[in-house]
Amino acid sequence: MHYINKIAFNVVLIGLFCCGLNAQAGSYEDFFKAVQVDNVRTVQTLLQRGFDPNTVNPEGVPALMVAVREPSLKVAELLASWPQTRTEVRNAHDESPLMLAALKGFLPLVKKLVNNDADVNKPGWTPLHYAATGGHVPVIEFLLDESAYIDAESPNGTTPLMMAAMYGSPEAVKALIQAGADLTLKNQQGMTALDFAVRGQRANARELIETGLSRLAERQKRNQPVVHAPAVQPAAR
């Protein structure tokens, strides 16, 4: 009888374990399906039950990155503000969720990510580069307010202003210039922001940068010390 009871007990344990695995598998599938379709209610319910927000999908991509990529903005904002979410994750191109959100101009999401410790000044390409590339002035201004380095250099020395000049918008170029971006920097190919604007055939960006360079030259000229010619001594008689 004791042996039979022991067997029965083990069967119950195995049954409970299998039920737990099935429930976990069901939660996993439900979670990522909800992430993809921006079903924030389901995601929130699973998180409140203890589901790990940092779980990766079958391709190894964290849920936050999936939500930003879709985009599933309501879910992305929920995950970005969830205390247990790791916001500093990277994809195969060394891009963070903050960079992708900045590129797309999702300001509310950008704010939630920064508030949950996303790195504004990550090494290499930065969120400010991506915001400038997308031409999103509100995101640019927010990142600068959060101490983003305005002249951050990519691995090849390209700055946010250069990216704005070639790919962004005139408004983004103007915002960076007014915030103090260095117009004279060169990347490893020897290209300045003006060169980027010319190559990208961005006439408005080119005009803004040329105007900025002219004003810079005028300021430098005014600040140069005045060299007086030596006084002419009257000829001796």
pLDDT tens-place string over residues 164-217: 999 999 999 999 999 999 999 999 999 999 999 999 999 999 999 999 999 999
- A 10 A CB-CB count for 163 gives 26
pLDDT of residue 220: 87
Q: With beta carbons less than 8 A apart as the criterion, state whether 140 and 109 touch.
A: no
Q: With beta carbons less than 8 A apart as the criterion, state whether 91 and 117 touch.
A: no
Give the Cα separation of 140 and 125 in Å (integer). Answer: 14
pLDDT of residue 2: 52
What are the structural domains of the chain? 1-88 (1.25.40.20), 120-222 (1.25.40.20)
pLDDT of residue 18: 40
Q: With beta carbons less than 8 A apart as the criterion, state whether 132 and 172 touch.
A: yes
pLDDT of residue 25: 56
Q: What is the pLDDT of residues 68-93, one digit of tens each?
A: 999 999 999 999 999 999 999 999 99
Give the Cα separation of 207 and 197 in Å (integer). Answer: 9
Burial of 198 (0-12, 13-18, 19+ CB in 10 A): middle
Q: What is the pLDDT of residues 121-174, one digit of tens each?
A: 999 999 999 999 999 999 999 999 999 999 999 999 999 999 999 999 999 999
**pTM metric for this prediction:** 0.83
* Residue at 194: amino acid letter: L
